[in-house]
Structure 1
Amino acid sequence: MSAAATGLGHRTSNARMLHRPAVGRPRYRLVCLHHAGGGPAAFAPWLRMLPDDVEIYALRMPGRDSRLGELQHRKPAAAVAEFLGIVGPLATDDVPVAYYGHSMGGALAYELYRALAEKGAPEPLYLAVGATAAPQRWASLPARLPEGDARQVLVDLLRAYGGTPPEVFDHPELLDVALTVLEGDFRLYDDYRPTLPPGPVGCPLVAFAGARDGMVATDDVRAWRECAAGPFAFHLLDDSHFFVESQADRILELLGDWAPMASKDTGAAPVTRTCT
C-alpha cells in the first residue's frame, strides 16, 4: 500500500496552495480550484486517495485560511491572473497537467484553461468541473449575493448548502470570517461574465452534477457538452452541491479513466465517452 493510500503521504503548504508532491517523478499533476466560501481543505480527501505518483496542487484564493489578511479578488480576471502565475510554469513542462474546479472553481478552471491555451500551453489531460453551470447558461443564473442586509440570508445559505462545520455557527468570530469570505466570493461569482460563445475545449471535458443540488440545475451542468471540441463525459452523482468531499472516491475513480493518457509507458489515450 502506498504512502498516499494510507494517508501518510508528505504534504507541503504555502499561503497560496495545499501541495502534495509525488513520490519520484510525477505521472501527472492535478490542479484543484475550490468552491465559493471554501478553501483547499475541500480536497484533503483527494490528497489521501490519489496514487503517490500524482502531484496535487489545491489552490487557495486570498481572504481565507493562511491568506486571511489579504483582500479577496473582486474580479474573476484577477483570480485567473494569479492562478496563471502559479500554474503557468507547471503547464509548460513535460509533466502532463489536469484540472478540476468545483462550483465557482469550475468557472475559474475553465477561464484558466482558456488563458493557458491563449499562451500556447499544451492541452491538459482533462478539464473537469463539478456543480458548475456551462458558460452559455451563466447569464440566466440568479445572483448569489442577496440585496440589502445580507447577513441573515448568508447564514441561512451556509446552513442550507452544507459544507460548513457546525461549530462555526456557535462562535461569532468564526461565523463573521465565514460570512465575509462567502460574501466576497459571491461578489466574484456574480461578476463573472464568460465570453460568448464559449471557446471550445480541445482536451477531454468531464462534468459532474449532483442529483440533489439545489444551487445548480443538472441541465446547466450537462450543457458543458456544447463546449467540448473533443471527448466529453457527464456524470450525475446521488448527492447535493458539495459532493467534492462526500463523493471524492467516486469522482477520482471516474477521472482515473482519463489518467492513462499520462502513462509513461504506453501514452495510451482513453476511449471517447459521450454525455449520459
Structure 2
Amino acid sequence: MAEVTEPTLLCVPFAGAGPSFFHPWRELAADRWRVVPVELPGRERRILQTPYRNVVEAAKNSVDDIVAELGEGAHTVLFGHSLGAVLAYELVHLLQPRGVHVERLVVSGSPGPWTQRERRAAGLPDEEFLARVEEFAGFRHEALDHPEMRELILPVLQADCEMHESYVPSTDVPVSVPICSLRGDRDGLVTAEEARQWRDATTSGFSYAEFPGDHMYLVDSGRQVLDAIEAESARGVSGVTGA
C-alpha cells in the first residue's frame, strides 16, 4: 500500500449512479483533493456484478478496496449524496479503525441516518417505479428512454432504492468526526429539518448549508459543492451555519 500525502475526497454515489459522475470533479477539485469515487457492483466497470441491496453489507464489502485505494495515512473527507450519504456514514465507522484519518463527513440530500423514508419506490412495477423515482429526483435520466440502456440501468436503480429505503444503521453510536449537511433549497424529498438531523449523528461539530435547486441540485453545482467542502475544511470544527 503506497503512502498518500495529499488529502482525498472519497465520493460515494447516489442511487443509480456510477463513479463517472464524479470524474468532472477531479478537474474542479484542482490541487485541493485527490477525488476518489467509490465503485459499486452493477455499474460501469463492474456492470456484470450483482448490485447490493443492503447498505451495511455494501459498506463492509467495500471497505478493503477503499482502504487500498486511499493509501496508508490518507487524510480523507467523505462525500455522499442521498443513498451515498448513509453509505458514507457507515464507511466512516469502518474506515477509522483501519487507520484512515477521516477529517469530515459531508452528507447531501439526506435525512439523518435514523429516519426512515415514508415515500417509497422499491417494489413498484417498472413504470410506476420510474415515475416515482423521477418525482423524487426532479428529473429523468435520458438513458432510461433507450431500451438497451434501460435494461442495464433499471435493475441497479431498483436495487439501490431497495437498499436505501430499507436502511437501518449498523450502530446507534455517533461518529466522532465533524458532519456537514448540504441540501437543495427546493428539495421536495428531504426537508431542511430532516437534513439538520445529522447533528445528532456526530459527537463533533455540525454545519448545514443550502444550494439553489431540488433534490439533484449537485448535478449542476459541482464547483459550488467543492467550494463549500473546502470552506468547511478550512473552518475546522464549527457550529451550525447556513440557512
Q: Distance in 2 between matches of 1:236 and 1:97?
A: 23
- CA distance, structure 2, for counterparts of residue 146 and residue 204 of structure 1: 32
Alpha-carbon distance in structure 2 between the residues aligned to 1:62 and 1:230: 32
Pair 1:210 & 2:184 matched: yes
Which of 107, 110, 124 pairs up with 1:132? 110
Residue number in structure 2 paired with 1:171: 146
Matches within 5 A, 1:100-119: 100-117=79-96, 119=97
Q: Distance in 2 between matches of 1:191 and 1:230?
A: 27
Which consecutive residues of structure 1, in runs of 5 or more, have no partner in the other structure?
1-24, 261-268
Contact 2:76 2:100 in 1 (8 A): no
Equivalent-residue separation in structure 1 for 2:95 and 2:237 (angstroms)? 25
Q: What letter matches 1:255 in structure 2?
A: I
Structure 2: unaligned runs, 5 residues or longer: none
Counterpart contact for 1:28–1:53, Cα < 8 Å: yes
Query: Shift of the alpha carbon at 1:93?
Result: 2.4
Aligned residue in 1 for 2:175: 201
Q: Write out aligned runs for 1:68-87 (5 A).
A: 68-87=47-66
- Of residues 249, 253, 256, the one that matches 2:227 is 253
Match of 2:128 in 1: 153
> Is 1:188 aligned to 2:163, yes or no?
yes
Q: Deviations over 1:198-226 (max 9, x none)?
A: 32222221110111112222211111112
Q: In 1, Cα distance between the equivalents of 2:27 and 2:59?
A: 27
AA of the residue aligned to 1:249: R
Question: How large is the RMSD of aligned CA atoms in angstroms?
Answer: 2.4
**2:142 pairs with 1:144:** no
Change (3 A) 1:64 1:121: same
Equivalence for 1:16:
none
In structure 2, the CA distance between the partners of 1:227 and 1:170, relative to structure 1 (3 Å rule), is closer
- Residues 51-90 of structure 1 show CA distances to partners (whole Å, capped at 9, x for unaligned) of 2352111012111122111111122222102221122346
TM-score (normalizing by structure 1): 0.78
Deviation at 1:103, TM superposition (A): 0.4
Cα–Cα, structure 1 residues 180 and 169, in superposed 2: closer, same or farther, change >3 Å? same
Q: Which moved more, 1:99-108 or 1:25-34?
A: 25-34
Moved more, 102-111 or 84-93: 84-93
Contact 1:202–1:228 under 8 Å retained in 2: yes
Distance 1:254 1:128 in 2: 10
What SS does the aligned partner of 2:30 have?
Answer: coil
| 8 Å contact kept, 2:89–2:105 | yes
Offset of residue 239 of structure 1: 0.9
When Rg is computed on C-alpha atoms for both structures, the one with the higher figure is 1
**Which stretch of the first structure deviates more once superposed, 205-214 or 36-45?**
36-45
Number of residue pairs matched by the alignment:
239
Shift of the 93–37 alpha-carbon distance from structure 1 to 2, 3 Å rule, reads same
**1:105 offset after TM fit, Å?**
0.6
Contact residue 32 and residue 99 of structure 1 kept, 8 A: yes
Go from structure 1 to structure 2 and tell me whether the alpha carbon gap of 1:120 and 1:66 turns closer, same or farther (over 3 Å shift). closer
Given that 2:106 and 2:179 are in contact with CA atoms closer than 8 Å, whether structure 1 keeps it comes out as yes
Offset, 1:136? 2.5
Deviation of 1:256 (Å): 0.5
Q: Which residue of 2 aligns with 1:242?
A: 216
User: C-alpha displacement at 1:243, in angstroms?
Assistant: 2.0
1:266 alignment counterpart:
none
